Amino acid sequence: AQSVTQPDIHITVSEGASLELRCNYSYGATPYLFWYVQSPGQGLQLLLKYFSGDTLVQGIKGFEAEFKRSQSSFNLRKPSVHWSDAAEYFCAVGANTGGFKTIFGAGTRLFVKA
Amino acid sequence: KAGVTQTPRYLIKTRGQQVTLSCSPISGHRSVSWYQQTPGQGLQFLFEYFSETQRNKGNFPGRFSGRQFSNSRSEMNVSTLELGDSALYLCASSSDRGRRFFGPGTRLTVL
């Protein structure tokens, strides 16, 4: 069965510091992988996605993620965090099982301190 | 292009009642998916509709149902509401596989 694990429930970083959010997935084939961000009171916004090709994916708002097949990981990174990045981040895997559905991780809440 | 819209944004119901939530996808999108988000369970997939047909379904009881109209608008219905149904219900539309655009959600509170 497909699954997504985000091991960190919450992370606190200082403004200007680098960020890495971890994501591990379980899926039999090459997955479609996504990172979404949800700000308080908002819906989900797609940050970036990986379908195939270059394993380092650039997204919006200065985020990037790297697909590592050997580690079944798709970690999200940002070199310098801004206070406005405080939000909840969801990693997701797209599974094509008789119809396409997206399975989400439990989310990681990011706190940014001044 | 207008984004995904969901109505109502907030809803309060009592146990045993039923509720209908509405989602209007981005113009041209034919796929609509529904998700339930709760603090305890996170984000869970409910179902997906494509061209008026349910294409995929998550592990929710039969009290949760949905439909899609010819204009791609979708409704989700929950009957015999339980306290545990209190959640944020998100709708997402897509034109191609995987790239989903989410609406702001409907916050349902069951008392």
Nearest to A103 among B45, B90, B97 (CB): B45
Beta-carbon separation of A100 and B105 below 8 A: no
Type of residue found at B101: F
Secondary structure element (H or E) that encloses residue A77, with its range: strand A73-78
Condensed to tens digits (0 to 9), the pLDDT of residues B35-75 reads: 998 877 778 889 889 989 998 888 899 999 999 999 999 99
Condensed to tens digits (0 to 9), the pLDDT of residues A1-55 reads: 778 999 998 999 999 999 999 999 988 777 889 999 988 767 788 899 998 888 9
Residues of B numbered 58-97 whose beta carbons fall under 8 angstroms of chain A's beta carbons: which are they?
Answer: 58, 90, 92, 97
Question: In chain A, what residues touch B92 (CB-CB under 8 Å)?
Answer: 44
Measured between CA atoms, the residue of chain B closest to residue A40 is B104
Nearest to A32 among B35, B98, B103 (CB): B98
Of B102, B41, B87, the C-alpha closest to A47 is: B102
Count of CB contacts below 8 A, A vs B? 57
Q: What is d(CA A101, CA B9) in angstroms, rounded to the nearest whole number? A: 24
Beta-carbon separation of B98 and A44 below 8 A: no
Q: What angle do CA B69, B70, B75 make, to 5 degrees?
A: 15
